[in-house]
Amino acid sequence: MKRVAVFASGSGSNFEAIVQACREQSLQFEVVLLFSDKEQAYALERAKNLNIPAHTFSPKNFPDKNSYEKEIVKLLEDYDVEFIALAGYMRLVGPLLLNQYFGKIINIHPSLLPSFPGKDAIGQAIKKGVKITGVTIHYVDSGMDTGPIIAQEAVEVDETDTHETLQKKIQKIEHELYPKIIDKLLRKDDHYVIKASTN
Ligand code: GRF
């Protein structure tokens, strides 16, 4: 069993979906840790209910990003974490964490990248009036939603869609796709190392 950490800053619905998928399907990994940079994140509540160890500390309590990430790496080592799935973690990953887990950190984003990177991708898509948007899972590099793309799934935007209804459709796809892709990557060890090094 591969040992995976999920990082979340907010609601944590993807975190919960990944944990449930591990419990209900025969996947080759387990979620051993939830990390959040926000003490008020609802994801922490979910972790408690799901019986998953959760830790939180804020970069505000550290002199710089490096020392914040050093603490994260220590935590990851304590839990023997091999792979990190960002799920609504609202921070750029810095060089310290990236070097330590190079090619082993992925993210999920609610648009078809490279369209609509950054904050509120769903709002951006609605504002632009696109008829198709979707979900992207990609490797994390030092940029904002810029790493090599691993998987994408399209979602149609209907004329009647609001931010809320579109988000619902997108999250439904996310919750199915994310555990599936993590599992697929972790079944072929060499795949993610090679893929990430092309960046
Ligand atoms: C998801 O839509 C994900 O694509 C984006 O942030 C959102 C997190 O939602 N990166 P949740 O916290 O998993 O409910």
Instruction: Tell me, using a 6 A CB cutoff, whether residue 20 lines ligand 1.
Output: no
pLDDT, one tens digit for every residue, the chain (199 residues)? 999 999 999 999 999 999 999 999 999 999 999 999 999 999 999 999 999 999 999 999 999 999 999 999 999 999 999 999 999 999 999 999 999 999 999 999 999 999 999 999 999 999 999 999 999 999 999 999 999 999 999 999 999 999 999 999 999 999 999 999 999 999 986 555 545 544 4
| Residue 148: DSSP 8-state | P
Q: What angle do CA 78, 199, 167 make, to 5 degrees?
A: 75
175 catalytic residue (yes or no): no
Ligand 1 atom closest to the CA of 9, numbered from 1: 12
| Chosen CATH of 2-197 out of 3.40.50.150, 3.40.50.720, 3.40.50.170, 3.30.56.10 | 3.40.50.170
User: What pLDDT, on a 0 to 100 scale, did the predictor assign at position 188?
Assistant: 80
State which of 108, 122, 124 you would mutate to test the pocket of ligand 1, scoring each by most atoms of that ligand within 8 A of its C-beta. Answer: 108
Q: Lay out the sheet containing 149-156: strands in order across.
A: 54-56, 29-36, 2-7, 83-86, 105-109, 132-139, 149-156
Q: Is the pTM of this model over 0.85?
A: yes
Ligand 1 atom closest to the CA of 17, numbered from 1: 13
Q: C-alpha dihedral over 96, 98, 102, 104, to 10 degrees? A: 120
Model confidence pLDDT, tens digit, residues 90-104: 999 999 999 999 999
Model confidence pLDDT, tens digit, residues 161-185: 999 999 999 999 999 999 999 999 9
Ligand 1 atom closest to the CA of 8, numbered from 1: 12
